[in-house]
Structure 1
Amino acid sequence: MSGTSLDGLDLAYCHIWETTTGWNFEIKETHSISYGEEMQAKLKNSIYLRADQLLQFHNIYGSWLGQQAKDFIKEHTLEVDFIASHGHTTHHQPQNGLTFQIGSGQHLANESATKVICDFRTNDVALGGQGAPLVPIGDQLFFCQYDYCLNLGGISNISFEQNGKRLAYDIGLANMILNHITKKIHLDYDKGGALAKTGKINKEMLDQLNDLEFYKLPFPKSIGFEWFVEKVVPIVEGTKDSIENLLHTAVHHICDQIALQVKAQKTKTKKSLFVTGGGALNTFLMDCLQEKLGSETKVVSPSKTLIEFKEALVFALMGVLREEQKINCLSSVTGAKRDSFGGVIYLPA
């Protein structure tokens, strides 16, 4: 799994099984590989590449993923049925029938000498869906005891049950804006939100962010890096203030939008919000979110392993469901014409 926050590659070795009472999982081994400056820059700027250059990078990155997987398997002496790979999203324009995750499945399979299941989003987009978010199938099958499941990666997204159906959508910003700000002082991220905590709100910036058109759109809806570059970066770059104040303002914006969405769902008096993704490790953000939600919603954070590797776990589940030819893309979430099982299978040559 490689996410929009561009912090690195997550690998998780998962055991997934089904019983008469439902689906179960165990995360047995994990490893994160931080991207070097060169790889981070290549991934970030890949949306500007010509088609032939992008496809070349797609193949190179696929081989690189295969090498990382092979090393991981060898180091832990793992017995692997297949590799389920999300890849890295470079283009996401469902309104144009387009989504693209680089990391060629064939190159990955050849390099790792292992069967690969990848390209989980394209089929849903071809069926008229958003192709995102996809993690809600994991929320439904693994974490249904919580009223809401919130993921704080580069983007924030939420899922919940309503009238017997799983609903989910991208809320808006999360680590993407925070990491963009910290890069100005050559920091990969604001650990625990320590810098953000010391800042103050810049009201003009907060108002501009909260007024973004995307927040007014009905769901299903999703965003990608292109939206961030076009709509958000100009606001951040146009605000002359300290790094601490920019971060503080961004955290309040993120929490404002999440709180609005949770409070809009009139389900019951006491609610639980299960939070995973890198943003769940930002103590200041989590405290701010709990404060804005109030006592009627309890913010629940699991183990550090689950916080960091939940998305990788869910894409492993999606691979299992694809292998079993069972639904892994929910039309109630994406807006597609029908439920489907997404994923393309590649065998090593």
Structure 2
Amino acid sequence: MKYHVIGLMSGSSLDGLDIAYCRFTRDNDDWNFTILAEACVEYPNQWITKLRSAPQLSGLSLHELDASYAELISGMVKDFIEQENITKVDLVALHGHTVFHYPDKMVSLQIGNGGIISAKLNLPVVTDLRSSDVALGGQGTPMVAISDLLLFKEYQVLINIGGIANMTVKGESIVSFDVCVANQVLNLLAKEKGLDYDHDGGMASKGKINVDLMEQLNQIEFFQKRLPRSLDNSFTNLSLMPILNSFDISTEDKLATFCEHIVFQIEQQLKKFKIDSDSKILISGGGALNKHLIGKFSYQVSVGDQMLIEFKEAVATAFSGLLRFLGEVNFLAQSSGADRNSCNGAIHNA
């Protein structure tokens, strides 16, 4: 069987909407995929401000944002379909933009009204890909465990370094979890120099690691939590930036130290799972393009090709949405900590 799915991912780094048009093929229980077309559509500056301030909105204003964001997405996807001359789409799968994520309170809210998007595109749309897992006591994120298991069988460890770094580890069981904040902080620090991001980690490579800052970052309570675990976007402003801002050191030194912190936290988990030097480790996400950061790893890691680096999570969203469309499991209890496996998502067919 072949399925053509558009996956939409809006990450916490707010660099834009990732769109991946994928063909999934199934031969019994063997899945494969091909990215047929892709794009990252940048958000206008006013939308970055709107999405960043969404947690402070009133209930009514948040619903209005949910609707207007869906209209924005619909226009982006419609343009993408026209530009790429796409004629066959079985469904669209939307992760949505995360406003709140507090799984301990059974709350994980992603905006992007699926009914509106379905009506505008005249296509089936799958949204709300976390709620059932959260209701069953799971973390609801990362969503990548099922795709890492079925689409990337050759890798034992898969690490995505985006706004937040997450990791999937396969062994006797499979577990996916958020490791630490990554590009959210690196990009905020780069903005101090008038840049959107630190290209290749060039500024970080000129800085010096501040031992005291490194120690304070690694002592944050989150890093003592048992797995699986996940992060809300507010963690950056509430827990990390106050520490970074308390140090009167150069931006370059902060970047160097935070890169060291990211690698340290990732490698701590690799050591806990007894990952050896022969294990196949794949790194994707924007952080994979940071040469300074990748060069800090003591493990041998594989960096995906450009398309996979940028669009792996959009592929995972497309695959999760497809499984929901087929009525199959798309969240694994052993990975998320839920009471049982579940099929997550709401199907809109306006």
Name the TM tier (shorter chain): over 0.9
Tell me the residue number matched to 2:326: 324
Q: Report SS of the residue matched to 1:185.
A: coil
Displacement of 1:36: 2.4
Tell me the residue number matched to 1:180: 188
Tell me the residue number matched to 1:153: 162
Deviations 1:277-302 (A, max 9, x none): 1100111100012xxx3xxx320012
Deviations 1:112-167 (A, max 9, x none): 2221001101111111111011111111011121120001111111111222x211
Query: 1-side partners of 2:205 and 2:192: how far apart?
Result: 18
Q: Report SS of the residue matched to 2:241.
A: helix
Tell me the residue number matched to 2:98: 89
1:260 and 2:279 are equivalent in the alignment: no
Query: 1-side partners of 2:245 and 2:118: how far apart?
Result: 41
Query: 2-side partners of 1:249 and 1:232: how far apart?
Result: 13
Tell me the residue number matched to 2:118: 109
The residue type paired with residue 85 of structure 1 is L
Query: 2-side partners of 1:190 and 1:34: how far apart?
Result: 18
Query: 2-side partners of 1:302 and 1:269: how far apart?
Result: 18
Displacement of 1:309: 0.3
Query: 2-side partners of 1:33 and 1:177: how far apart?
Result: 22
On the 8 A contact 2:93/2:321 being kept in 1, the answer is: yes
1:30 and 2:38 are equivalent in the alignment: yes
The residue type paired with residue 172 of structure 1 is C
Query: 2-side partners of 1:193 and 1:35: how far apart?
Result: 23
Tell me the residue number matched to 1:130: 139
Structure 1: segments with no counterpart, 5+ residues = none
Tell me the residue number matched to 1:143: 152
On the 8 A contact 2:131/2:140 being kept in 1, the answer is: yes
Deviations 1:306-340 (A, max 9, x none): 11000001111111111111111011111111101
Tell me the residue number matched to 2:259: 251
Q: Report SS of the residue matched to 1:134.
A: coil
On the 8 A contact 1:83/1:116 being kept in 2, the answer is: yes
How does the TM-score come out when normalised to structure 2? Answer: 0.95
Deviations 1:54-107 (A, max 9, x none): 111011101111111111111112111111011111110001110000111111
Tell me the residue number matched to 1:334: 336
On the 8 A contact 1:182/1:190 being kept in 2, the answer is: yes
Deviations 1:10-57 (A, max 9, x none): 111100011146110000001111122211111111111111111110
Query: 2-side partners of 1:197 and 1:130: how far apart?
Result: 35
Query: 2-side partners of 1:208 and 1:319: how far apart?
Result: 40
Q: Report SS of the residue matched to 1:117.
A: strand
Displacement of 1:193: 0.6
Identity over aligned pairs, percent? 37
The residue type paired with residue 338 of structure 1 is R
Tell me the residue number matched to 1:15: 23
Query: Any residues of structure 2 matched to 1:224-303 within 5 Å, and which?
Result: 224-268=232-276, 270-289=278-297, 293=298, 297-303=299-305
On the 8 A contact 1:2/1:9 being kept in 2, the answer is: yes
Q: Report SS of the residue matched to 1:17.
A: strand
Q: Report SS of the residue matched to 1:225.
A: coil
Query: 2-side partners of 1:253 and 1:29: how far apart?
Result: 35
Tell me the residue number matched to 1:162: 171
Displacement of 1:269: 5.3
Query: 1-side partners of 2:276 and 2:231: how far apart?
Result: 29
Tell me the residue number matched to 1:197: 205
The residue type paired with residue 276 of structure 1 is S
The residue type paired with residue 294 of structure 2 is M
Distance change >3 Å, CA 124–CA 285, structure 1 → 2: same
Query: 2-side partners of 1:21 and 1:326: how far apart?
Result: 12
Tell me the residue number matched to 1:314: 316
Query: 2-side partners of 1:247 and 1:267: how far apart?
Result: 27
Q: Report SS of the residue matched to 2:153.
A: coil
Q: Report SS of the residue matched to 1:159.
A: strand
Tell me the residue number matched to 1:64: 72
Displacement of 1:267: 4.8
On the 8 A contact 1:129/1:336 being kept in 2, the answer is: yes
Q: Report SS of the residue matched to 1:240.
A: coil
How does the TM-score come out when normalised to structure 1? Answer: 0.95
Query: 1-side partners of 2:321 and 2:29: how far apart?
Result: 21
On the 8 A contact 1:133/1:333 being kept in 2, the answer is: no
Query: 2-side partners of 1:67 and 1:182: how far apart?
Result: 30
Displacement of 1:260: 0.6
Query: 2-side partners of 1:35 and 1:208: how far apart?
Result: 34
Displacement of 1:347: 1.3
